[in-house]
Amino acid sequence: MKIGLIGLGIMGKPMAKNMLKAKYSLMVHDLNRASVDEVVSCGAVSATAAEIGASCDVVLTMLPNSPHVKAVMLGEGGVAGCMKAGSVFIDMSSISPIASKEIAAVLAERGIQMLDAPVSGGEPKAINGTLAFMVGGPQEVFDTYKPLLETMGTSVVRCGEIGAGNTTKLANQVVVALNIAAVAEAFMLAKKADVDPQLVFEAIKGGLAGSTVMDAKAPMMIGGSFEPGFKIDLHIKDLGNALDTAHEVGSPLPLTAAVMEMMQTLKADGLGQKDHSSLAKYYEKLTGTAIG
């Protein structure tokens, strides 16, 4: 099986390396030449996007947002025009489920099947191959390519037909964003009441308030270290897609809208490239007090 991956960013690069470790034959493409060279040094083959489309049985993308995936696949000289009937497209990007359905409809006319398979876990889990995949698409296609996805993740769940993967990812991102905001708000309460946030964390992490999000982000808030595992800018993108989809289907997201405005404030303050745990800095701005 020949595999092509387009997109070697903070997530795509370690995911490519994990496919190579599993001995898959991999062609890669990215605008960042250094990233391509790094993955090629691990055993991949550098190729243009068109060459990947023409040569590979399955094409994977790991790109920033809906417009990027549409441009790569359906734009002028797009990959879809080079792919053979019977081949498969798996989009691992986090995009609008509406866009996923639009892309799948065009590909179906060309005899190409599709899975939308966004991931959760951030860079650390991309590196160690323990991502969670949320997948939408035909059952038989999912069954065929689940082992490929399992080289990059420990949880690979089919959530329904096309678009279901990205709908599930949006739900995931809503939960994560609200959880981070709640942790920051609670720790600021503790700090202002002269209780050590580190001790609060140790006391509550084993109870009902404990979560994977808290375990990952509380130490960053307390340590005042916000180098990105997942950037504010990317979470803004995901919450934008969540709000757009919610408006489309008639589902209210008032808490999500509030956290979106908090993130937009941080972006305006120049923190868009920092980790989403920087929501702590929103509260620090309001109070003039550092959590850490």
Strands (E), 8-167: 25-29, 45-46, 58-61, 88-91, 113-116, 119-120, 131-136, 153-160
CA nearest to 233, candidates 52, 6, 10: 10
User: 250: which DSSP letter?
Assistant: T
Question: Residue 122's closest CA among 113, 135, 131?
Answer: 131
Exposed e or buried b per residue across 14-49, where buried means at least 16 C-beta atoms within 10 angstroms of its C-beta: bbbbbbbeeebebbbbbeeeebbebbbeeebbebeb
Contacts of 247 (CB under 8 A, 6+ apart): none
Q: Of the candidates 231, 241, 242, which has an alpha carbon nearest to the alpha carbon of residue 277? A: 231
The H-or-E segment that residue 4 falls in is strand 2-6
Q: Which entry of 17, 169, 217, 231 is annotated as an active-site residue?
A: 169
Question: Which DSSP letter does residue 103 get?
Answer: H
133 secondary structure, DSSP code: E
Known active-site residue 23: no
CA 23 – CA 5 distance, rounded (Å): 15
How far is CA 55 from its chain centroid?
26
Name the pairing type of β-strands 45-46 and 58-61. unpaired
What are the residue numbers of the active site?
Answer: 169
